[in-house]
């Protein structure tokens, strides 16, 4: 029996027989781990659980008998994938099956409603955080080193030396994790302890969220947040409609309605509700918990009947109940099973290019070190066998008299000694700097939008320097370049165009609409003829056109302070419904079955039969209504190509409409076609039955079937007219684009709009020059198909068609592509590289009519065929894909919901802030982090590699040239703070000048400060410095009476001087912090040296503080000072020379930049459009 | 007004720090600063170099190799490891006054006193006079921790065991007579070593502290009898022992043996013929080492050190040359621009 197996003890314990062997292993393991006492507890629990599960199975049998009549149905459900069972008012039953875990065992089926986003508890914090941190290779490396240092025979430096940086790193990260976790705990607690009314023994009593259980019946009041995924049973509103705000889920602030089944609505709505609800014993069968936010399939079995459940019956956790007094619902999914928590997927960590090259550099260092260590070990073996066997004083030190063994041990000793060359502190510091840079972005007043009260926000903190290297900017159009504040400007009805878009919206003469009590202004269209015809009601087409506008949408209406307020999912709909309202066709309200409309003051009720919703694939939506007169009508609105191909043959006005479409799109207006179809009663009957069957289907091809059905219905349409909506350019867009272009960034526009609209926006936003030539698909195809695209491209440019200005032809070309054409790339993968080759030579690329998926594909194409950094910017849900795909994703907090922002790495409130984000913050960040990286590699390597050279002079014995404490403090105290402040505050050029000279940005694109060659150069420089650091003191002290400790102090002093002089050479922006940091670092060296070389420490631990007295002697010796000074100066001489040479060159370069930028600025101001296609955008120039 | 404030609740703070406008000094470097700067640095280095070089030149140094590798060397006889208690003497002459105070060093080459395991092979607690370490020396001292009879070695470890034990006497030949040049062995070790780092156990007589221990294997005399002439100069605070225990930095080194500061020789060694009498004990030929004796006087910069002065001169001139190159580069970049 299928049912009983569901509840077998195995199932309850959730131990599959095949896992039993695994479990046994675990049990054995536990046995070893646990002390005797805790083992007892464990066994107690184990038996208790077994007992519990037996009890459950007994009950299952009992229930099985009770539920017998339903078994056939259940089987049916199980077969169609509806295996999740929820029994109303069976709190105990569900509680027993709640998920529990103990010592790695998990059993139970239903999650409880507790959010546990925290990771650590008091006991697990230390082991877990250590485990996480030691997954980093560098940390593990240091741990390994530390372990080696504990072996006395090979420990060339004491173990506590590397534990200091390691502990510092571990504790910094640990504390950070802990703080985050505490914050999560607090917010968890806050969420878990929210109150909620649950029906318990016929009364609603307040319960905390965390105690909510599957099967509970809950009461939700207006403005309350829904505590779990709840099936709506009934509400206080008519038809049990309820409205929810999903701002927390997708950021959209418009209301969406949910509706109860008519069965539950009819049977359960009563006063008081408690009695009827307590008697409710329906069973819900639905899908297992999944992450499909907008899909839900299930059945309600109640009183022997089956009712289908869909997405519209489900109130999701996290949404807020609005405009509804009270709603009652049955909890279906709780806690971790809810849709929103299922959707909290892992965030894909983006790694920057710089971080990758850093990792490579660290690997190079490690490999180099391992090789060097190997060489040294071999040399040591040779030294041991050749020299030491003849030296009485040393020969006894060849361990066990075996040079090979000695060499082996020295291998590890050198491994430890050269370890500090691996920049372990770098990762922590790196993170700190990133955090600071993102804070600077958040804090920037110049990127704060006062209208929206929205500062810029770095949501991902680790990508700041990537902003300074962007080469491809892929931008959405609507809402990103344009305002997405849509104005109904023109329409074409029955072949006649009303309104004039050549007049700016603000200059439009307002029409006299005082006759319309619903008019609230905001219509920027001058068409008295239309109003006249409307009011006269002479033309049925005009009447139908506006009826279509009032009916065919998903807008919600409600009254607020005696005014009708529309809430729409898309601004287009709001603009259309609003325009209709202004002209007297007022959408008043909607219920499940009716749409109430006032047509010129007369209220009509249209029965809503079906709503064929909008998807980005279908690109149209329709409503099927029964008119008050009884006729059936299908109103459809959608994108022009979709509608035009569905028109009936010989549709009147088609030609004039197409012409109008052309005119509108040339004026950069967004167009939609409106059409109607009369539906006969018989065909509706048939269609609705098929539809009902299709909806009831629970299989996966249901959607395809629905698609087909919808398509069937949306045929033989009769064109009513075309709407034209203006979407104006955002403030500062043309300036920003031309600035970014000067900075060498290629701006591509990807839009779902028509080609004409996109091209015109391109002109208006200065993306395209007025005399730019468009390279369209035909020619592009030829180029791509030709064996040598480059040659073909150039040939094409030479032809008359192109060569207006031959030498400029390449620059002036723009590629225009459309979505359907892009699909051809799927079949021809080799075109990708060719296309990118052509595109790189063109000014820009416009992709029109692209789906969200294709937007992401284009980003992928760019990423695949170039090594450039891509940045995607968008504002809507359709941009989420591309934002996630690009190296850097920027979301605009705009009119469309917040999904783009939620998936973005940075959020801005306006497109124009992009120039500051890239040219100022990005450039600075890139420069700072590159400097930091190079300096860090330099200072750690130069100081540690000294031991390579000293090895030659000490018999390759892994003798340290520094006092052990110096090694520990060098990275932490003597050299860390100056570079930190450089990484925080460094700027070579002020913000104003960064924007004035956008060419400076190209430095980041070419990786001038961080390329592999540069990193290699800094490593080579470090090697040179280490040579100097050793050989100059060596030369001075050779064959002299200077002892080892004095030399050690000299070299360490020289190393500190070198590191600090180098930072002085790097710093161009001296804030008081920088000056203080350098002074403090130097002072600290002397103070700490005196402390660690003091009598106090020596007397307590003579073996560890052997340098007692060394610095007193050394600091008083002029030769030590002169040697250290000479060494440091020689070590930084290349850097100094390089700096001097670059200063000499930049004096010249700056001169050039200045003069060229002047030249570039002038044509911009003189810019005039060849054809004034979009006069409304003329204001931009 | 209140409403206004609410509306801009998210407005970032307008401070110099958050807006990255911290007052800062931005040195405007230009060719006019950089090139003269380089010249100045170069000149300063050359100046220091000249001063060092001249100082170094004024220092007199006399080096005498007495290893005895060559057949005609007076110490050739002694270089045979089988010969015991060998004494040899070297004659040398000084042409002009060797200005005092004269420092008398012994030097060793190809001797790796900076070998790591050699360096750690000591027991600092023992040397600090801690009697518990006398019975059980630190395991760092291996293999010179216990002798064959399992007696603890004091002072233990490689460094102590290999202590340099050649001794010297210097005579001036005046009219066929040899006049002893007095050598001052006081205060040749570091103050901190003598006073704090090394201590004798506070037991009198000193030798009783060493009951139950043995002297290092290579030593002819126990540590409490290192200097028979001066009872205070025995034990761990013996000056020669202290000098030896301070490890050399590099394989070629010298260590201070004595100073000549007394009597007629306080102003230096007058011109004349001298005899250096060496009791040759320390074997170095097995590792191709060399032994030598160095007489030197000192200046403010210590002993003779030509490397430092020359290095300063070289780098100083390098800077000057570089500035000339920069000037050419600058001219090359600058002048086509103005055409």
- pLDDT attached to residue A236: 84
Which stretch of A45-59, A177-191, A397-411, B186-200 has the lowest confidence by average pLDDT? A45-59
N-to-C CA span, chain B: 62
Task: Report in angstroms the alpha-carbon separations of A329 from A297, A407, A981.
Answer: 16, 76, 57
- pLDDT attached to residue A240: 80
DSSP state of B182: P
Which stretch of A102-116, A589-603, A1051-1065, A1160-1174 has the lowest confidence by average pLDDT? A1160-1174
Task: Report in angstroms the alpha-carbon separations of A1126 from A427, A982, A1060, B248.
Answer: 32, 25, 14, 22
Separation CA A525–CA A546 (nearest Å): 15
B23 and A1147: CB-CB below 8 Å? Answer: no
pLDDT: which is higher, A617 or A810: A617
B109 and A1039: CB-CB below 8 Å? Answer: yes
DSSP state of B225: G
Residue in A443, A1047, A1141 nearest the CB of B19: A443
Per-residue pLDDT reduced to its tens digit, A537-580: 888 889 999 999 999 998 888 787 778 888 776 778 888 999 99
Nearest one of A253, A285, A282, A287 to A268, comparing CA atoms: A282
- pLDDT attached to residue A9: 37
Per-residue pLDDT reduced to its tens digit, B257-308: 999 988 888 888 999 999 999 999 888 888 888 999 999 988 888 888 899 9
Backbone angles phi, psi at B279, to 5 degrees: -95, 110
Q: Contact, A597 vs A586, CB < 8 A? A: yes
A454 and B10: CB-CB below 8 Å? Answer: yes
- B192 reaches A (C-beta below 8 A): yes
- A1064 reaches B (C-beta below 8 A): no
Separation CA A728–CA A477 (nearest Å): 11
Per-residue pLDDT reduced to its tens digit, A209-256: 888 888 889 999 988 889 999 999 888 877 787 888 776 666 555 677
Per-residue pLDDT reduced to its tens digit, A694-724: 876 655 577 788 888 898 899 899 999 999 9
Most confidently modeled range among A271-275, A756-760, B8-12, B174-178? B174-178
Angle at the Cα of A238 from the Cα atoms of A235 and A240, rounded to 5 degrees = 35
Indicate the burial class of A29 (C-beta count within 10 angstroms; 0-12, 13-18, 19 or more). exposed
Interface of A with B in 1106-1135 (CB under 8 A): 1106, 1108-1109, 1112-1113, 1117-1119, 1122-1123, 1126, 1129-1130, 1133
* A454-472 as b/e: b if 16+ CB within 10 A: bbbbbbbbbbbbbbbbbbb
Identify from B21, B51, B250 which residue to disrupt to test chain A contact, counting A C-beta atoms within 10 A and taking the largest count: B250
- pLDDT attached to residue A311: 83
- pLDDT attached to residue A30: 44
Peptide bond just before A1160 cis, omega within 30 deg? no
Separation CA A576–CA A486 (nearest Å): 9
Residue A96: pLDDT band (50, 70, 90) is confident
SS3 B175: coil
Peptide bond just before B101 cis, omega within 30 deg? yes
Residue in A397, A442, A1137 nearest the CB of B118: A397
Q: What is the pairing mode between strands A669-679 and A718-729?
A: antiparallel
Q: Does the pLDDT at position A406 exceed 80?
A: yes
Interface of A with B in 373-412 (CB under 8 A): 387, 390-394, 396-397
What is the mean pLDDT of the segment spanning A803-817? 62
Residue in A1043, A1048, A1069 nearest the CB of B26: A1069
Instruction: Find chain A residues with C-beta within 8 A of B128's C-beta.
Output: 1102
SS3 sequence of A47-90: HHHHHHHHHHHHHHHHHHHHCHHHHHHHHHHHHCCCCEEEECCC
Chain B CA closest to residue A1155: B337
DSSP string, A783-795: HHHSS-HHHHHHH
A957 and B305: CB-CB below 8 Å? Answer: no
DSSP state of A974: I
Helices marked H in A204-279: 247-250, 262-268, 273-279
Q: What is the pairing mode between strands A594-599 and A585-590?
A: antiparallel
Q: Does the pLDDT at position A347 exceed 60?
A: no
Separation CA A10–CA A57 (nearest Å): 10
- pLDDT attached to residue B152: 92
* A1003-1022 as b/e: b if 16+ CB within 10 A: bbbebebbeeebbeebbebb
- B114 reaches A (C-beta below 8 A): yes
Chain A CA closest to residue B245: A1043
Angle at the Cα of A521 from the Cα atoms of A519 and A522, rounded to 5 degrees = 130
Helices marked H in chain B: 2-7, 31-58, 116-119, 124-127, 132-135, 158-161, 191-192, 206-209, 239-245, 306-338
- pLDDT attached to residue B63: 92
Average pLDDT over chain A, rounded to an integer = 81
This model of the complex carries an ipTM of 0.94
Residue B1: pLDDT band (50, 70, 90) is very low
Q: Contact, A495 vs A656, CB < 8 A? A: yes
DSSP string, A671-736: EEEEEEEEE-HHHHHHHHHHHHHHHH--STTHHHHHHHHHHHHS-SBEEEEEEEEEEEEPTTHHHH
* Dihedral, CA of residue A792, residue A793, residue A795 and residue A797, to nearest 10: 160
Separation CA A1123–CA A1075 (nearest Å): 25
What is the mean pLDDT of the segment spanning A485-498? 88
Most confidently modeled range among A254-258, A558-562, A1127-1131, B127-131? A1127-1131
Separation CA A524–CA A507 (nearest Å): 9
Most confidently modeled range among A335-339, A387-391, A446-450, A727-731? A446-450
Give the number of other CB atoms < 10 A from CB of residue A44: 10
For residue B177, give how far its alpha carbon lies from the nearest alpha carbon of chain A (Å). 33
Backbone angles phi, psi at B12, to 5 degrees: -65, 155
Q: Contact, A492 vs A725, CB < 8 A? A: no
Q: Hey, CA dihedral for A361, A365, A370, A374, is it positive or negative? A: positive
B118 and A1112: CB-CB below 8 Å? Answer: no
- B22 reaches A (C-beta below 8 A): yes
Residue in A391, A1118, A1140 nearest the CB of B326: A1140
Instruction: Find chain B residues with C-beta within 8 A of A402's C-beta.
Output: none
A1144 and B333: CB-CB below 8 Å? Answer: yes
Q: How many CB pairs under 8 A join A and B?
A: 244
Residue with tokens 């059409």: A675
Strand segments, DSSP code E, in A834-929 are: 844-848, 869-874, 888-892, 906-908
Residues in chain B: 339
Q: What would the two tokens of residue A175 be?
A: 């504390």
What is the mean pLDDT of the segment spanning A847-867? 87
Instruction: Find chain B residues with C-beta within 8 A of A1106's C-beta.
Output: 124
What positions of A carry a catalytic annotation? Answer: 476
Q: Contact, A419 vs A944, CB < 8 A? A: yes
Per-residue pLDDT reduced to its tens digit, A164-176: 778 888 888 888 8
- pLDDT attached to residue A1079: 96
Instruction: Find chain B residues with C-beta within 8 A of A955's C-beta.
Output: 112, 114-115, 251
Angle at the Cα of A111 from the Cα atoms of A107 and A116, rounded to 5 degrees = 110
DSSP string, A371-422: HHHHHHHHHHHHHHHHTGGG-HHHHTTSGGG-HHHHHHHHHHHHHHHTGGGS
- A992 reaches B (C-beta below 8 A): no
- B328 reaches A (C-beta below 8 A): no
Half-sphere exposure of A853 (CA within 13 A, CB side): 6
Q: What is the pairing mode between strands A305-309 and A906-908?
A: unpaired
Peptide bond just before A1078 cis, omega within 30 deg? no
Identify from B6, B12, B63 which residue to disrupt to test chain A contact, counting A C-beta atoms within 10 A and taking the largest count: B12
- pLDDT attached to residue A795: 64
Q: Does the pLDDT at position B170 exceed 60?
A: yes
H/E stretch holding A336 reads none
Per-residue pLDDT reduced to its tens digit, B82-108: 888 889 999 999 999 998 789 999 999
Residue with tokens 């030296």: A391
- pLDDT attached to residue A64: 40
Q: Does the pLDDT at position A134 exceed 50?
A: yes
Identify from A157, A410, A1041, A1151 which residue to disrupt to test chain B contact, counting B C-beta atoms within 10 A and taking the largest count: A1041
A954 and B114: CB-CB below 8 Å? Answer: yes
- A1042 reaches B (C-beta below 8 A): yes
Q: Contact, A191 vs A208, CB < 8 A? A: no
Instruction: Find chain B residues with C-beta within 8 A of A957's C-beta.
Output: 112, 114-118
Instruction: Find chain B residues with C-beta within 8 A of A1147's C-beta.
Output: 30-31, 333-334
Give the number of other CB atoms < 10 A from CB of residue B252: 18
- pLDDT attached to residue A16: 41
- pLDDT attached to residue A40: 42
- B337 reaches A (C-beta below 8 A): yes
Spatial neighbors of A880 by CB under 8 A, at least 6 apart, are A852, A874, A899, A900, A903
- pLDDT attached to residue A952: 92
For residue B101, give how far its alpha carbon lies from the nearest alpha carbon of chain A (Å). 16
- pLDDT attached to residue A392: 66
- pLDDT attached to residue A74: 62
Q: pTM for the whole thing?
A: 0.78
Separation CA A819–CA A577 (nearest Å): 29
Separation CA A101–CA A13 (nearest Å): 10
- pLDDT attached to residue A790: 67
Bridge partners, B87 (sequence order): B279
């Amino acid at each position: 029996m299928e049912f009983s197996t569901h509840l077998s003890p195995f199932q309850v314990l959730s131990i599959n027989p095949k896992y039993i062997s695994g479990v046994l292993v675990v049990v054995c393991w536990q046995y070893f781990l646990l002390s005797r006492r805790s083992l007892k507890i464990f066994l107690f629990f184990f038996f208790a659980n077994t007992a519990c599960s037996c009890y459950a199975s007994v009950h299952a049998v009992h229930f099985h008998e009770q539920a017998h009549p339903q078994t056939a149905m259940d089987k049916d459900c199980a077969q169609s994938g509806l295996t999740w069972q929820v029994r109303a008012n069976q709190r105990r039953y569900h509680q027993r099956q709640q998920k529990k875990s103990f010592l790695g065992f998990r059993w139970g089926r239903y999650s409880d409603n507790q959010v546990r986003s925290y990771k650590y508890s008091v006991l697990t914090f230390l082991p877990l955080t250590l485990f996480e941190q030691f997954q980093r290779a560098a940390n593990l490396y240091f741990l390994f080193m530390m372990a080696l240092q504990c072996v006395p025979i090979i420990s060339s430096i004491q173990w506590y030396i590397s534990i200091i940086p390691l502990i510092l790193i571990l504790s910094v990260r640990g504390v950070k994790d802990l703080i985050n976790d505490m914050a999560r705990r607090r917010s968890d607690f806050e969420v878990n302890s929210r109150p909620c009314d649950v029906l318990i023994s016929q009364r609603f009593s307040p319960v905390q969220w965390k105690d909510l259980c599957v099967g509970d019946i809950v009461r939700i009041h207006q403005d309350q947040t829904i505590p779990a995924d709840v099936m709506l049973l009934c509400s206080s509103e008519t038809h049990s409609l309820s409205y929810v705000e999903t701002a927390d889920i997708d950021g959209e602030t418009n209301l969406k309605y949910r509706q109860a089944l008519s069965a539950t609505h009819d049977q359960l709505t009563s006063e008081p509700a408690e009695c009827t609800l307590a008697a409710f014993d329906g069973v819900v069968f639905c899908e297992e918990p999944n992450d499909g936010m907008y899909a839900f399939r299930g059945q309600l079995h109640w009183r022997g009947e089956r009712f289908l459940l869909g997405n519209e019956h489900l109130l999701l956790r996290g949404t807020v109940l609005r405009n509804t007094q009270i709603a009652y619902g049955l909890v279906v999914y709780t806690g971790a099973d809810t849709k929103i928590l299922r959707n909290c997927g892992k965030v894909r960590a983006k790694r920057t290019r710089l971080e990758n090259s850093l990792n490579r550099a660290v690997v190079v260092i490690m490999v180099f070190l391992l090789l060097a260590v190997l060489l040294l070990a071999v040399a040591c073996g040779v030294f041991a066998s050749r020299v030491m066997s003849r030296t009485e004083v040393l020969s006894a030190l060849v361990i066990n008299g075996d040079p090979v063994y000695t060499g082996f041990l020295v291998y590890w000793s050198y491994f430890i000694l050269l370890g500090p060359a691996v920049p372990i502190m770098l990762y922590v510091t790196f993170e700190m700097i990133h955090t600071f840079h993102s804070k600077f972005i958040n804090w920037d007043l110049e990127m704060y939008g006062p209208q929206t009260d929205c500062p810029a926000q770095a949501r991902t903190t680790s990508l700041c320097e990537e902003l300074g290297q962007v080469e491809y900017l892929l931008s959405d159009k609507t809402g990103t370049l344009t305002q997405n504040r849509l104005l109904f400007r023109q329409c074409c009805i029955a072949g006649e165009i009303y309104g004039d878009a050549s007049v700016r919206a603000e200059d439009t003469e307002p029409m006299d609409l005082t006759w319309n009590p619903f008019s609230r202004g905001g219509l920027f269209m001058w068409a008295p003829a239309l109003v006249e015809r409307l009011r006269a009601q002479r033309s049925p087409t005009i009447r139908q056109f506006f009826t279509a506008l009032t009916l065919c949408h998903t807008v919600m209406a409600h009254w607020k302070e005696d005014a009708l307020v529309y809430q729409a999912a898309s601004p287009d709909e709001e603009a259309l419904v609003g325009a209709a309202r202004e002209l007297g066709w007022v959408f008043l309200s909607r219920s499940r079955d009716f749409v109430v409309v006032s047509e010129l003051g007369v209220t009509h009720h249209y029965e809503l039969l079906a709503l064929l919703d909008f998807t980005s694939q279908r690109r149209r939506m329709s409503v099927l209504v029964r008119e008050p007169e009884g006729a059936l009508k299908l109103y459809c609105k959608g994108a022009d190509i979709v509608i035009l191909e569905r028109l009936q043959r010989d549709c009147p006005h088609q030609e004039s409409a197409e012409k109008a479409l052309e005119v509108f799109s040339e004026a950069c207006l967004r167009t939609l076609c409106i059409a109607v179809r009369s539906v006969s009663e018989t065909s509706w009957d048939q269609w609705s039955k098929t539809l009902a069957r299709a909806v009831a289907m629970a299989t996966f091809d249901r959607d395809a079937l629905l698609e087909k059905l919808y398509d069937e219905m949306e045929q033989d349409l009769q064109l009513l007219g075309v709407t034209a909506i203006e979407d104006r350019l955002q403030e500062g867009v043309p300036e920003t684009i031309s600035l970014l272009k000067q900075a060498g960034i290629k701006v591509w526009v990807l839009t779902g709009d028509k080609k004409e609209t996109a091209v015109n926006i391109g002109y208006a936003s200065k993306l395209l020059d007025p005399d730019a030539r468009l390279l369209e698909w035909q020619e592009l195809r030829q180029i791509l198909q030709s064996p040598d695209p480059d040659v073909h491209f150039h040939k094409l440019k030479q032809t008359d068609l192109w060569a207006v200005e031959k030498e400029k032809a390449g620059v002036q070309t723009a590629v225009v592509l459309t979505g359907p054409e892009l699909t051809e790339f799927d079949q021809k993968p080799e075109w990708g590289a060719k296309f990118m080759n052509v595109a790189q030579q063109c000014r820009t690329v416009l992709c029109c009519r692209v789906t969200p998926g294709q937007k992401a594909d284009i980003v992928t194409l760019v990423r695949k065929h170039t090594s450039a950094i891509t940045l995607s910017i968008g504002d809507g849900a359709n941009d989420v894909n591309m934002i996630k795909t690009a190296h850097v994703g920027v979301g605009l907090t705009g009119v469309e919901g917040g999904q783009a922002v939620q998936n973005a790495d940075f959020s801005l409130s306006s497109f124009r802030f992009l120039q500051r984000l890239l040219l100022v913050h990005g450039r600075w960040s890139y420069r700072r982090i590159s400097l930091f990286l190079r300096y860090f590699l330099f200072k750690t390597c130069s100081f540690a590699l000294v031991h390579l050279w000293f090895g030659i002079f000490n018999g390759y014995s892994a003798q340290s040239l520094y006092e052990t404490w110096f090694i520990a403090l060098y990275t932490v105290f003597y050299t860390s703070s100056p570079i930190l402040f450089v990484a925080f505050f460094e700027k070579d050029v002020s913000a104003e000048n960064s924007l004035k000279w956008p060419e400076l940005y190209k430095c980041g694109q070419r990786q001038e400060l961080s390329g592999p060659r540069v990193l290699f150069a800094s490593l080579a420089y470090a090697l040179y410095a280490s040579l100097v650091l050793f050989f100059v003191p060596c030369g001075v002290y050779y064959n002299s009476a200077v002892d080892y400790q004095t030399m050690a102090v000299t070299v360490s002093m020289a190393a500190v001087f070198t590191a600090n002089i180098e930072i002085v050479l790097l710093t161009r922006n001296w804030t008081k912090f920088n000056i203080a940091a350098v002074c403090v670092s130097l002072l600290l060296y002397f103070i700490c040296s005196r402390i660690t070389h003091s009598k106090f420490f020596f007397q307590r631990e003579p073996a560890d503080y052997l340098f007692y007295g060394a610095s007193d002697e050394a600091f008083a010796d002029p030769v030590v000072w002169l040697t250290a000074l000479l060494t440091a100066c020689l070590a930084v001489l290349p850097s100094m020379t390089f700096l001097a040479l670059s200063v000499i060159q930049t004096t010249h370069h700056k001169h050039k930049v200045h003069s060229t930028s002047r030249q570039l600025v002038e044509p911009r101001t003189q810019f005039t459009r060849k054809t004034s296609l979009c006069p409304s955008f003329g204001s931009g120039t | 007004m209140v409403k206004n404030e609410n509306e801009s609740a998210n407005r970032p703070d307008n401070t110099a720090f958050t807006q990255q406008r911290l007052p800062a000094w931005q040195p405007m470097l230009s060719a006019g600063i950089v090139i003269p700067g380089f010249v100045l640095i170069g000149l300063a280095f050359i100046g220091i170099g000249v001063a060092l070089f001249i100082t170094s030149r004024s220092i007199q140094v006399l080096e005498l190799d007495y290893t005895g590798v060559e057949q005609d060397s007076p110490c050739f006889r002694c270089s045979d490891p089988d010969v015991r208690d060998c004494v040899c003497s070297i004659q040398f002459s000084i042409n002009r006054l060797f200005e005092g105070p004269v420092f008398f060093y012994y030097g060793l080459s190809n001797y790796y006193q900076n070998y790591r395991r050699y360096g750690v092979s000591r027991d600092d607690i023992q040397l600090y006079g801690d009697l518990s370490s006398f019975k059980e020396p630190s395991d760092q001292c291996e293999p010179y921790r216990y002798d064959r009879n399992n007696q603890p070695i004091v002072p233990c470890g490689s460094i102590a065991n290999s202590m340099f034990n050649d001794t010297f006497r210097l005579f001036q030949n005046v009219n066929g007579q040899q006049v002893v040049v007095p050598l001052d062995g006081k205060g040749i070790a570091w103050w901190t070593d003598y006073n704090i780092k090394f201590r004798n156990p506070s037991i009198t007589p000193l030798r009783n502290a060493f009951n139950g221990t043995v002297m290092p294997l290579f030593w002819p005399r126990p540590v409490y009898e290192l200097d028979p002439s001066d009872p205070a100069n025995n034990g761990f605070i013996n000056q020669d022992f202290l000098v030896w225990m301070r490890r050399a930095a590099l394989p070629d080194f010298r260590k201070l043996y004595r100073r000549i500061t007394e009597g007629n020789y306080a102003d230096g060694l007058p011109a004349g013929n001298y005899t250096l009498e060496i009791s040759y004990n320390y074997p170095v030929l097995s590792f191709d080492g060399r032994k030598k004796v160095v007489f030197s006087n000192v200046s403010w910069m210590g002993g003779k050190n030509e490397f430092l002065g020359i290095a300063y001169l070289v780098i100083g001139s390098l800077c000057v040359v570089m500035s000339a190159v920069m000037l050419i580069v600058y001219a090359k970049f600058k002048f086509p621009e103005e055409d």
